[in-house]
Amino acid sequence: MNAEQNTFSEPSHAQIKDLIYQIRRLMQAGSLYTKELDRNYKVSSPQLSCLIALYEAGPLPPSHIARYIMVKSSTVTGIIDRLEHKGLVRRTRNSPDRRVINIELTDRGRMLAENAPSPIQQKIVDGVKRLPRIKIDEIIKNIKLLTDMLDAQDFDLDQPTDESKIPL
């Protein structure tokens, strides 16, 4: 990196405008995807992620689903409640300890998981796989800068751990 790239200066109006525009495009893509899911399948993106996690891994306790889809356990409870109300999952107890429950797909849930579109992050995964490693590192670094600016660590997400099974 040369000295000119290392100097700090006030960003131009055009740079700020383009940055905000690109962020809005990302948000709009997520919003359009969510509307399509709701219109065509009557589920939200987190609900679809939950169904796919169960389809890929089989019955799971809610805490494992939460790690799998990268949300807090308290959030996954509401997702499961809504999916159960729609007849897409059911809670089962296979242990003498009544506190231990697993969530499993119903036949309707399995059919939806098999036929629904890929989660939106799959488009990103497919695109990233075509990039050189240095570009991927650059994207990660720059997105982290943005999330740090937004204090995104305060949002309702658990940081994935190495043990987390993240569907890609």
The answer to whether position 49 is within a domain reads yes
**pTM higher than 0.85 for the full model?**
no
The answer to whether position 19 is within a domain reads yes
In CATH, what number is assigned to the domain containing residue 23? Answer: 1.10.10.10
pLDDT tens track for 113-168: 999 888 788 888 899 999 999 999 999 999 999 888 887 555 545 455 544 444 44
The answer to whether position 3 is within a domain reads no
How far is CA 12 from each of CA 3, 6, 8, 72, 161, rounded to the nearest angstrom? Answer: 19, 16, 12, 39, 38
3-state secondary structure of 58: coil
The answer to whether position 164 is within a domain reads no
The answer to whether position 42 is within a domain reads yes
Q: How confident is the model at residue 2 (pLDDT cuts 50, 70, 90)?
A: low
Mean pLDDT value of segment 46-60: 95
Q: Please, what is the angle between helix 62-69 and helix 73-85, to 10°?
A: 110
Q: What is the pLDDT of residue 98?
A: 74
Q: What is the pLDDT of residue 163?
A: 47
Q: Residue 158's CB: how many other CB atoms inside 10 A?
A: 14
Q: What is the pLDDT of residue 94?
A: 78
Query: Number of structural domains, the chain?
Result: 1
Question: What share of the chain in percent tops pLDDT 70?
Answer: 86
Q: What is the pLDDT of residue 84?
A: 98
Asked whether residue 56 carries a pLDDT value surpassing 70, the answer given is yes
In terms of phi and psi (left: phi > 0; alpha: psi -120 to 50; beta: otherwise), the region of 151 is left
Instruction: Give the structural domain span for 40.
Output: 15-154
The answer to whether position 10 is within a domain reads no
Q: What is the pLDDT of residue 134?
A: 97
CB 106 within 8 A of CB 87: yes
Asked whether residue 112 carries a pLDDT value surpassing 50, the answer given is yes
The answer to whether position 76 is within a domain reads yes
Question: What share of the chain in percent tops pLDDT 90?
Answer: 64
| Between 91 and 151, the higher pLDDT residue | 91
User: Element (H or E) spanning 90, and its range?
Assistant: strand 89-92
The answer to whether position 60 is within a domain reads yes
Q: Please, what is the angle between helix 107-115 and helix 45-57, to 10°?
A: 100
Q: What is the pLDDT of residue 90?
A: 97
CB within 8 Å of 33: residues ≥ 6 apart: 45, 120
